[in-house]
Structure 1
Amino acid sequence: MRLHDDIHNYFEKIVVEEIIKRKLDKLYDEDVMADFCCTVLNQLTPRYIRFDVDMAFYLPQHERIHMENQVNVAIEVAISQIAKKGQA
């Protein structure tokens, strides 16, 4: 068996949306952003899906809000870790 190329973690989409919304990609270079994304995603329980449209259609609104809140907390943690590294 081979995993299909379309399988991905739905949290990746939410994380990218929030990074763009906060313009964090404008603050840090690509290397820092790659580490940043890993730090954020490693704090979240993965939600693997095949098609984004399925999640958009079947995900209850309260669960989407909960996932967005989890992403915001994880981003704040990652920002504080970057700030600590900058002070070292």
Structure 2
Amino acid sequence: MTERTATIASRVGLHARPAAIFAAAVSELDLDVTIGRDGEPASDAMDAASILSLMSLGASHGDVVVLRAEGDGAGEALDGLVRILETNHDE
């Protein structure tokens, strides 16, 4: 299992536009990616391709989340997803 952490950069957190951008990027991958709050059990992680899951996560600006995936290319894919989360999409 490959894991990365990311700090939410958008001022509105992981809601609306940032969630849609992120979910679309995850959906393009041939990997199952989960997202959860840093410090919470991996078993509580949610489907990162689901906008509803992302919104229910309630991640705010500055919160740290954990992305997990398994399979070929998981590290590179998660690195790209981290870049999306650490970009302010509000501007």
TM-score of the superposition, structure 2-length normalised?
0.33
TM-score, normalised with respect to structure 1: 0.34
Point out the structure with max Rg over C-alpha: 1
**Relative contact order, higher structure (CA 8 A, sep 6+):** 2
Structure with greater proportional helix content: 1
